[in-house]
Amino acid sequence: MPLRKWAASFRHAFEGLLDAYRSQRHMRVHFFFMVLNGVLAMVYKLNAVEVAIVTICVALVVFAEMVNTVIEAMLNIVCETYHPITRFAKDVAAGGVLVTALNALIVAGLIYGNPERIGRLRQVWVTGEYVDASALPRALVMTVVLLLVTITAAKVGRPQASVLEGGSVSGHTAVAFCLATTVFFLVRGEVYCWITTCLAFLVAMLVAQLRLHDRAHRVRTVIYGALLGIAIPLIVFGLLAKPR
């Protein structure tokens, strides 16, 4: 096959992937978990076998979702009215996605929920002591990247929303609470640690209040942003920085 046809085939396949990402909300969730899997694999320092197992499971979920999307689109073209066989086919296809998703959750729980790793995570949160000081800037970079990827993934496909405007997650609130939580880790051991952290969270709450006051977001989306901003640095700093 000529190189031009190979390039055309790849372009069509890539466009199909982008179409599925833009049009299907569940697909955007699956792609976010693919990125999260890559970040956690680096943070957890998984071996090659563990990375391969988790990656295959996540890829199977994405593949099943794409097949489910195709089946639904074809059935909508063939059958414009309700038909029990059409409903049966759609339910079975959705059930296949559910099976692969549950399988991925079980595998991820067994690998990432290792008791030794969870204990290390808890110890870092409590003590805040690190063996390698260089872990802090690396954790900071990973936190920022993961936060931006999460916000972008939540808002792609919404033409009325930019990365930090509108959408299902308040980007301003997420960034503010992420910075406040990061301050908590960066100043651990200092005399004014708790004062600095409280001031940082106070500023974050003011940002959240302004988003509500300007009616840019609802209470639900502001809460989602705050939880996202707190959870990401807790996980990344807790896992990347080894305690003494």
Task: Give the residue numbers marked as catalytic.
Answer: 65
| Distance, CA of 141 to CA of 43 (rounded, Å) | 12
CA distances from 179 to 158, 182, 224, 227, 235 (A): 26, 5, 16, 13, 14
Backbone φ and ψ for 82, nearest 5 degrees, come out as -65, 135
| Distance, CA of 50 to CA of 174 (rounded, Å) | 31
Question: Which has the closest alpha carbon to 185: 228, 225, 240, 148?
Answer: 240
143 touches 180 (CB < 8 A): no
165: β partners: 162
Whole-angstrom Cα Rg for the chain: 21
Give the ranges where 187-240 is alpha helix by DSSP (H): 193-213, 219-240
